[in-house]
Each structure stands twice: as structure tokens, then as C-alpha cells.
Amino acid sequence: MPEIVDSHCHLDFPDFEGELPDVIARAEAAGVTRMVTICTRLDSADTVRGIADTYAPVFWAAGTHPMRAGEEPLVAVETLEALARHPKMVGIGETGLDYHYTADSAAAQQDSLRVHIEAARRTGLPLIIHARAADEDMARILTEEHRAGAYSCVMHCFSSGPDLARAALDLGFYLSMSGIAAFPKSGDLRDIFAAAPLDRVLVETDSPYLAPPPHRGKRNEPAYTAHTAAVGAKVFGLTPDEFAAATSANFDRLFAKAAAWREAA
């Protein structure tokens, strides 16, 4: 069975309460050997860190989700740097821009995004980006900031348009394929991934959301990364083993701290 990495999930969400041992066991049985659980608000950092400490296959990342940026104090770069000292904290975010529901906080979201970018620069950890209905501003800010000082980045759960995909790839960033790419009507999105370099693609669940077929409409969980990866293999004309190996190598390259932890273990 090929080893797969779920590069983005939310194991601290209430959907998984009391079930984490079984959820993680099912993931490992499906070949998902590593997971990154994402903290979306810093007052839950202790909980998310505790999950990573408890379960060997789980790593974590932390940031202020853009939909929360208008209601929470602007995080300090130093706060993110301090969190990043934890040995299994491997990414900065998720951060980004979401104008679909929260366009009224666009200015606060942009300020928060720039703080997270600076933290990614200082720590050397990859930035984890959430982008929805904000392609133009997202491409502009990522490009401006990259010119000011390089950093690495993954466009998590990528479902934006080809222009943002091109801008991100031109900066050396990665695109992450979620269950959305496996939906029958997502042909245009699959075409965007097919045009991307294979060595710049990751897979994820974003669980408990966006379960791929045959579980669409139900709670998503890390084990279902295997279903999205099977679709990704078809997109690139690869066997599931080949696609899993390629995306796992990509994860190790981008999330070098997680790769180093595994080597040391």
C-alpha cells in the first residue's frame, strides 16, 4: 500500500471528539502515514499541539484563519515564532484571504496575512494559504511579499482560478489537492492541476470538510486522502503508488521539519 500524507486536516474540531484513536488508526490502515492538523485560532494552540504530542503520525501548524481575522487581535510575529519552536510544529497558518463571507474584514485579513508571511520568513516554515473569492488581492500580496523576501508556501485546498495557480507556481509555491478535485463537476480544477508540475502538488482532506466520493456529504477524515490521491493519479496518468510517492516526496521537500522529525525517529 502506498504511503500518503494528509497535508491539511482539523483533528481538534468537535466532529472528531472522542474518536481520534480510531480516526488515526483508519488513516494508517488506508496508507495515510502522516497528517498535519491545523490550528485556525491561537487560543486553541494548546489543544492542537497536544494532539501532535499524543499521536506519532500527527504534526501541527498554527495561525489565524482569515475568516477570524476581523474578530481576533492581530497576532504578533513573535507569537508565531515562539509556537514554531515546538519540534512538531511544521507550518505557519492557515492564513490568507476569504472574501466570500467576510469581505468586510478584507483590510484586517491582509494585515494578518502579511504578519504570517513574515513569520514564515523568520522561521523557515512553509506558509499555509486559504484563498477564496480573493484571487487578485491574493496574487498581488503573495508576489509583493516574495519580492521583499523569499518564503515557501502551499495553496491549501486549491480551488481558485488558473491565474492564481499560475502566480503561485511562478513563485515556486505548491498547490494542494482536496476532495473538491474529486467531485464529478470539477473538471476545470482537475485541468489546473494537470497543468501544474507534478513536483509542486500535495494532497489533503481539509477534514472534517469536503469529503471526496464515495463519502461526499459525510464527515471527511484523513483516511479519505486515499480517494483524492486516486483521482490525482488519474489526472497525472500515474499509478496510485507513483502519485503517492511523488506527493509524499513533495511534502518532505516543503515540510522539511516534518521530514527531519521522521528521520530522527
Mean pLDDT by 10 residues, the chain (265 residues): 92 97 97 97 96 98 97 96 98 98 97 98 98 98 98 98 98 98 97 98 98 96 97 97 97 97 84
pLDDT value of position 1: 66
pLDDT for res 159: 97
The predicted model scores a pTM of: 0.97
Question: Using CA atoms, how far apart are residues 148 and 135, in angstroms rounded to an integer?
Answer: 20
The pLDDT of residue 262 is 84
- Measured in degrees and rounded to the nearest 5, phi and psi for residue 211 equal -60, 135
Distance of alpha carbon 134 from alpha carbon 32, whole angstroms: 32
In sequence order, what DSSP letters do the residues of the chain get, joined into one string? ---EEEEEE-TTSGGGTTTHHHHHHHHHHTTEEEEEEEESSGGGHHHHHHHHHH-TTEEEEE---GGGTTTSPPPPHHHHHHHTTSTTEEEEEEEEEEHHHHGGGHHHHHHHHHHHHHHHHHH-PPEEEEEES-HHHHHHHHHHHHHHS---EEETT--S-HHHHHHHHHTT-EEEE-GGGGSTT-HHHHHHHHTS-GGGEEE---BTS-PPTTSTTS---GGGHHHHHHHHHHHTT--HHHHHHHHHHHHHHHSHHHHHHHHH-
Burial class (CB in 10 A: 0-12, 13-18, 19+), 152: buried
Bridge-based pairing state of the strands 89-98 and 127-132: parallel
Q: How many domains does the chain have?
A: 1
Find the CATH number of the domain harbouring 149: 3.20.20.140
Q: Which domain holds residue 201?
A: 4-264
